[in-house]
Structure 1
Amino acid sequence: MCDARAFLPQMVQLGADHACQIILPSGEETVERLSEVVLANAPAKFVAIGHGLGGDVVMDVLRRAPERVLRVVLISTDPLAEPPKTAAAREARIVAAKSGRLVQAAAEDYPDMAFAATEWRDEVRALVADMVLQLGEGVYIRQSRAAQRRPDQSKTLRRALMPALILAGAEDGLVPVRRQEFLAGLLPYGRLQVIPDAGNLPMLEQPEAVTAALRKFLSGPLMLRPARR
């Protein structure tokens, strides 16, 4: 439930050297339909960067059109389908949002365990709440449905033959580092970078570290040897 402000620090710092385009996963209820929207609006060749549900959409872009993706960055992304227990808990939050308790529902999506214990955690949390309110109930419900129905993309990732960077917050309680390490291991050219003092939103919690990681990755070679395991 984030808008373009989630990547604002990176857009400001990298925009001078790279053409940046934000495509929000907001108009459809499945990852597959959302990836269709991305491919219809993206350039012929592009670098795909996704966070959370956006990462799920990026993985489906790789399934559909890997030849169009030059590099890929996945942040706080889980490559597996949502477990039934998690999907059931999400259903309760959808009901809450429909009942006028959108902020409460979104707060349950991002509990304390989602954030690193930094001095600006409350500021990041407040920004997330504002982004939720600006996007509204309809977007929240559609994104929640898409998350519930996301497919297992393990096979897709094993066939993705482009440079890949996985960024994980060291203190992410929603998508733990171990799960993102598993994701990186699926990618033939995948590399995991753990961001210290960050949780599920490292772009906002540690913007300078994320920007530096992206800048280094974007300037790296396109032809690589498979990552050592």
Structure 2
Amino acid sequence: MTPLMLLPGMMCDARLFGPQIAAFGRDRAIQVPAMGRHDSITALAADVLEHAPPRFALAGLSMGGILAMEITAQAPARVERLALLDTNPRAELPEVKAGRTPQMEAARSGNLREVMRDEMKPNYLADGPGKQAVLDLCMDMAMDLGPEVFVNQSLALRDRPDQQDTLRRVNVPTLVLCGREDRLCPVERHELMHRLIPGSTLTIIDGAGHLPVLEKPDETTAALARWLEE
């Protein structure tokens, strides 16, 4: 069975995909690579590919989706199928770039928790009974990864290339999925990716924001299961 590689979002680790790992890990090998050793998307992709199986199914959320697009650009023959979750194919906007410098300075100064609490976490999730538990898990993941990873990932995101041409060349089974209430990577960006990738499937998860893998795990896992069986 084809190995599955899962790429988490910024300042997240394998715990982001806990429900999916539980569902799929019984039947196939799953790899969740570290994503904080380099400060560019191209270098991160090369590092992942160096340690990846010869061919694999690739799913990435948010920054993980951005990295998945770069992996696809660098080694299209190794990606057997592709899932892009709550992500963005475009280069970073100037106003977003400008906001990263004070965030990085704050993280370097020992204020990573405050950056995550005040500037990032409020944008993550839809309202719901499990919201606080997911936010708490996000904070735990971020604090475990630490400020150096935050800075590296911030620089990688800031300087990333536009990947729309990459998506036009994708010719493997592809799922484009997002939470309907995602404010960081809204539905229209996923509609764009769906248009760019011939034959892709677009799935929008109601009642979820930026992290449907945790907010609506059953619905998201079901969509991923269908994708893996295409």
Please confirm whether the aligned pair reaches a TM-score higher than 0.5, indicating the same fold.
yes
Amino acid at match of 1:184: H
Alpha-carbon distance in 1 for matches of 2:84, 2:159: 19
Give the SS at the match of 1:115. Answer: coil
* 1:149 partner letter: D
CA distance in 2 between partners of 1:128 and 1:189 (Å)? 33
Match among 79, 83, 86 for residue 76 of structure 1: 86
Aligned residues of 2:184 and 2:210 also touching (Cα < 8 A)? yes
Look up the match of 2:188: 178
Kept in 1, the 8 Å contact 2:86–2:177? The answer is yes
Equivalent pair of 1:25/1:57 in contact (CA under 8 Å): no
Report what 1:160 is aligned to.
170
Q: Which residue of structure 2 lines up, in the alignment, with residue 149 of structure 1? A: 159
Unpaired runs of at least 5, structure 2: 1-10
99, 103, 108: which one pairs with 1:98? Answer: 108
1:108 to partner: Cα distance: 4.0
Partner residue, 2:202: 192
Deviations 1:152-183 (A, max 9, x none): 00111101111110110110010001111111
The count of corresponding residues between Structure 1 and Structure 2 is 220
1:151 alignment partner, SS class = coil
Q: What SS does structure 1 have at the residue aligned with 2:31?
A: coil
Q: Alpha carbons of 1:202 and 1:196: their partners in 2 closer, same or farther (altered >3 Å)?
A: same
Secondary structure of residue in 2 paired with 1:74: strand
Partner SS for 2:110? coil
RMSD: 1.0
- Output one character per residue of 1:106-127: Cα deviation in whole Å (capped at 9) or x when no partner: 2345243321001111111111
Distance 1:20 1:172 in 2: 26
**Identity over aligned residues, as a percent?**
39
What is the distance in 2 between the residues matched to 1:187 and 1:157? 6
Aligned to 2:147: 137
Counterpart CA distance in 2 for 1:165 and 1:96 is 36
Q: Does 1:49 align with 2:59?
A: yes
Kindly provide the amino acid, as one letter, of the partner of residue 44 in structure 2.
L
Q: Which residue of 2 aligns with 1:206?
A: 216
CA distance in 1, matches of 2:204, 2:226: 14
- The two structures have a TM-score, normalised by structure 2, of 0.93
2:39 — aligned with what? 29
Q: Quote the Cα distance in structure 2 between the aligned partners of 1:160 and 1:174.
A: 24
Gaps of 5+ in 1: 221-229
SS across alignment from 1:110? helix
The offset of 1:26, in angstroms, is 1.1
CA contact (8 A) 2:121 2:135 kept: no
Q: Label 1:8 to 1:111 Cα distance change in 2 as closer, same or farther (>3 A).
A: closer
Distance 1:201 1:171, change over 3 A: same
CA separation of 1:28/1:219 partners in 2, compared to 1, >3 Å: closer, same or farther?
A: same
Equivalent pair of 1:25/1:34 in contact (CA under 8 Å): yes
